[in-house]
Amino acid sequence: MVARSRTKKSKAEAHHPDELTPEEERALQEHEAQKYLGISADEFVRRWHAGEYDGVDDSRVLGLAMLFHFA
Amino acid sequence: LPSRTPAAAVSAVKEALQRAVSCVSSAVLVVSPGGYRAGDEIHYLTFAQDIVHLSSDVVGGVRMRYSYRIRPDPVDSRARLVICAGYFYALHDRDEREIVAYHWHPEGRSPIVTPHLHLGPGAAVGRLELTRGHLPTGRIGVSTLLQFAIRDLGVRPLRDDWVAILDAPEEPA
């Protein structure tokens, strides 16, 4: 019973070949934060939560917000 | 379309988007971490690289991001649907200046929550009201964007059947 549950869980959480790893996602976030805004990924998150992008509507911010699952 | 599993629902959308992309590029779409699993969080599809090169004298490349949630099908709660949560498609010139960007971000920080178009510096439009504006659009799919890129901006298709592929029903919006 226990073994079956574990098998089900591992199947459900299996990593797909075309699925980014958290490390790859982090690298994308860092790259785009530096390239488009000249800041680190951590700084982008800080500014986002501080409301510094409220009302901002441009591709640099939106692209990053999507990479952070914010939009 | 409803699918039996969350992964199948995401795969169906990804395959439709990838088929459209294959008309202009061999670039591969990837899914965000955990993006094949159901849950309340927003997932996304994107290219593995930032800007994907396109063959054209005008357009240098395309950026694309498609965010979504996986929800139970209201008709059959055992089935799963991918529901688009927003998108961002941009065409850049050869100097990486944005020409046009199609946005829809109902959950972002912008007060503009309806689909719209931005004209970027690469569009070389002089009127400030237009370059700062949010030009209203309907919901735009990747196929529509790529049809525009090929027909009007001179992007060279990579396959002869691009018309049939891009005329096919769009990915779920």
- The alpha carbons of chain A give a radius of gyration, in whole angstroms, of 17
Structure tokens at B161: 């059947």
The answer to whether the Cα torsion of B114, B15, B79, A69 is positive or negative is: negative
Contact check, Cβ <8 Å, A69/B36: no
Task: State the amino acid at position A57 in one-letter form.
Answer: D
CB atoms within 10 A of CB A30: 15
Contact check, Cβ <8 Å, B111/A55: yes
Segment B80-93, tens digit of pLDDT: 999 999 999 999 99
How many CA atoms does the CB half-sphere of A20 hold within 13 Å?
A: 24
User: Among A13, A35, A71, whose Cβ lies nearest the Cβ of B67?
Assistant: A71
Segment B40-81, tens digit of pLDDT: 899 999 999 899 999 999 999 999 999 999 999 888 888 999
Chain A contact set for B35 (CB, 8 A): 19-20
Write the DSSP assignment of B49-104 as a string of letters. SSSEE---SSEEEEEEEEEEEEEE-SS-TTSEEEEEEEEEEEEEETTS-EEEEEEE
Q: Predicted confidence band at B171 (pLDDT cuts at 50, 70, 90)?
A: low
Q: Predicted confidence band at A6 (pLDDT cuts at 50, 70, 90)?
A: very low
CA distance A67 to chain B (A): 7
C-alpha distance from residue A6 to each of A16, B4, B26 (Å): 18, 21, 38
What is the model's pLDDT at position A7? Answer: 41
**What average pLDDT score do residues B158-166 get?**
96
Q: How far is CA B134 from the centre of its chain?
A: 18
Residue A60 has pLDDT above 80, yes or no: yes
What is the model's pLDDT at position A2? Answer: 35
Contact check, Cβ <8 Å, B108/A55: no
pTM score, whole prediction: 0.90
Chain B contact set for A8 (CB, 8 A): none
Chain B contact set for A21 (CB, 8 A): 33
CA distance A1 to chain B (A): 23
Length of chain B: 173
HEC readout, A27-52: HHHHHHHHHHHCCCHHHHHHHHHCCC
Which of B43, B87, B100, B110 is the best substitution to test chain A (most A C-beta atoms within 10 A)?
Answer: B110
C-alpha distance from residue A48 to each of A62, A71, B30 (Å): 11, 11, 25
What is the model's pLDDT at position A12? Answer: 52
Contact check, Cβ <8 Å, B109/A25: no
Q: What is the ipTM of this complex?
A: 0.90
Q: How far is CA B69 from the centre of its chain?
A: 15
